Amino acid sequence: MLGEPLMKTFSELFNDNTSGSVALLKQFANILCNNLIKPDSRWQETLAADLALAGARWPHFTVIHHFIKSIKTEAFSSPEVAVKWIEGYLATWNNVHHKWADHMQRLLPADSRPITVHSHSESVKSTLKELHTRGYSFQVFQTLSGPANEGVIQARSLVDSGLNVTLLTDAMSAFAVKESGLVLLGADGLYPSGFMNKSGSLNICLAAGLYKIPVYVLIDSRKISNGLPETETARSTEEIITNAPPNLDVINFYFELVSHTYVSGYITEAGLKNSRDLFPAG
């Protein structure tokens, strides 16, 4: 119905710790549509409850909150009208990566040095694939992105599309950056104080500053917020160590805020921007 197979139930989707916010939104919208076409006289109440659950489950994902806020402003006369609206919303944003690739073409390393990427970002993945389709040749250094190791998923997807990818542990991110021509990151949210992304992004940016390697962040306008980022909460310690002794402290944060200081530019639908362009009052 939306051009993608329905892969997950809400329960499975809410436990997905490896997909980026754009990919999660597509799956969430797909499941919403699948539920809306089922006979249900209380469909409006069910839809509202599902939206509330998603907002609570993904507090950091501004792209999902943009969708939730947008759909809440609509007055749907029937489930069919709601499905049509959702399809239209997704269609509006599905081809943003073409614009990102247009702007990225001018930033690719002239000496063919690799591009370092981190975590599993639908924005980064789709843009690199689009550049490859256009005939650009480059190697990709992909971090493992622990503890969920979602970098493996992105690496497999890029390789399946014909790209040359080298998978490295997070501990080798400085090595990858030093050998690269640029760093390309996604973001789950952009704020006056910085961008929110998967933990490990700051280490990569620090290495880029040390070796004078440019850092670019792909961002669509849905992810830009003038508010404050959500406070990160610790995740399961079992992802790091099982049966930990009671006197061992374990910290597992999925996201971190990275200062604009470390970013060479934000690649938006409208072109390359800096933080002052996006937050002129900041």
Instruction: State the pLDDT at residue 7.
Output: 55
Instruction: State the pLDDT at residue 3.
Output: 43
Residue type for position 128: L
Query: Which SS3 state, helix, strand or coil, does residue 139 take?
Result: strand
Pairing state of beta strands 265-268 and 271-273? antiparallel
Tell me what the mean pLDDT of segment 11-30 comes to.
Answer: 89
Instruction: State the pLDDT at residue 71.
Output: 96
Instruction: State the pLDDT at residue 230.
Output: 84
Strand order across the beta sheet in which 115-117 lies: 164-168, 139-143, 115-117, 182-185, 215-218, 265-268, 271-273
Instruction: Kindly state the DSSP code that residue 231 receives in the 8-state scheme.
Output: P
Q: Which of 12-16, 70-74, 218-222, 258-262 has the lowest mean pLDDT?
A: 12-16
Tell me what the mean pLDDT of segment 35-40 comes to.
Answer: 89
Contact 49, 87 (CB under 8 A): no
Residue type for position 126: S
pLDDT tens by residue, 76-89: 999 999 999 999 99
Domain ranges of the chain: 10-93, 96-278
Q: What is the mean pLDDT of the chain?
A: 93
Of 236, 187, 251, 179, nearest to 208 by C-alpha is 179
Tell me what the mean pLDDT of segment 9-22 comes to.
Answer: 87
Sequence-separated contacts (24+) of 37-46 with Cβ below 8 Å = 37/1, 37/79, 37/80, 37/83, 40/79, 43/79, 43/82, 44/76
* Phi, psi dihedrals of residue 69, rounded to the nearest 5°: -65, -40
pLDDT tens by residue, 206-218: 999 999 999 999 9
Instruction: State the pLDDT at residue 282.
Output: 57
| CATH code of the domain made up of 96-278 | 3.40.50.10470
Contact 151, 169 (CB under 8 A): no
Residue type for position 41: S
Residue type for position 102: D
Residue 206 parent element (H or E): helix 201-211
What's the whole-model pTM score? 0.88
| Residue 3 burial (10 A CB sphere; 0-12, 13-18, 19+) | exposed
Of 35, 17, 13, nearest to 26 by C-alpha is 13
* CA 247 – CA 224 distance, rounded (Å): 41
Instruction: State the pLDDT at residue 4.
Output: 46
pLDDT tens by residue, 104-153: 999 998 888 999 999 999 999 999 999 999 999 999 999 999 999 999 99
Instruction: State the pLDDT at residue 20.
Output: 87
Provide CB contacts within 8 A for 273, sequence distance 6+: 265, 266, 267
Instruction: State the pLDDT at residue 1.
Output: 44
pLDDT band at 233 (very low <50, low <70, confident <90, very high): confident
Query: Which position has the token pair 């402003």?
Result: 73
Q: Is the pLDDT of residue 5 over 70?
A: no
Both tokens of 101, joined, read 């690739």
Tell me what the mean pLDDT of segment 161-177 comes to.
Answer: 98
| Residue 55 burial (10 A CB sphere; 0-12, 13-18, 19+) | middle
